[in-house]
């Protein structure tokens, strides 16, 4: 069974701090990785994608990928209360052509 694992949280950080969200996956052949943000009662919204080892930055968000360790993370700098949401890690498995989602990490940013 292919898996994507995340800590469920909740992760609580003060406003202005860096929030670090982590994800591990089991399929070494995976090449595409995504982070979705989901506000309570809403549908997931894509915020980052990453395909190569290293860091990818987009505004306050940085995705980090380490394929050797099968590890992908999302850093949120200068966290804001509006960042409070559940963050879903998703890994694309070529076999079957499906995205496999982690359970999500709930982030709470305290003013």
- Judged by CB under 8 A, the residue of 23, 79, 102, 109 near other proteins is 102
The contact pattern for other proteins, residues 61-90, with x = CB under 8 A and - = no contact, is: ---------------------------x-x
Q: Which of 9, 13, 71, 92 binds other proteins (CB under 8 A)?
A: 92
Per-residue three-class SS string for 4-45: EEECCCCEEEECCCCEEEEEEECCCCCCEEEEEEECCCCCCE
Residue span 3-42 as binding mask against other proteins, x where in contact by CB under 8 A, dash where not: -----------------------------x-x-x----xx
Most distant CA pair in the chain, distance: 44
Give SS3 for 83: helix
């Amino acid at each position: 069974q292919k898996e994507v694992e995340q800590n469920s949280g909740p992760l609580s950080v003060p406003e202005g701090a860096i929030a670090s969200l982590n994800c591990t996956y089991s399929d070494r052949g995976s090449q595409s990785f995504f982070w979705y943000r989901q506000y309570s009662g809403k549908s997931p919204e894509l915020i980052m994608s990453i395909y190569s080892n290293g860091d990818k930055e987009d505004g306050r968000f940085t995705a980090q990928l380490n394929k050797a360790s099968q590890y992908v993370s999302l850093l949120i700098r200068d966290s804001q209360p509006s960042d409070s949401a559940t963050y879903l890690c998703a890994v694309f498995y070529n076999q079957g052509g499906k995205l496999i989602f982690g359970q999500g990490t709930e982030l709470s940013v305290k003013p």
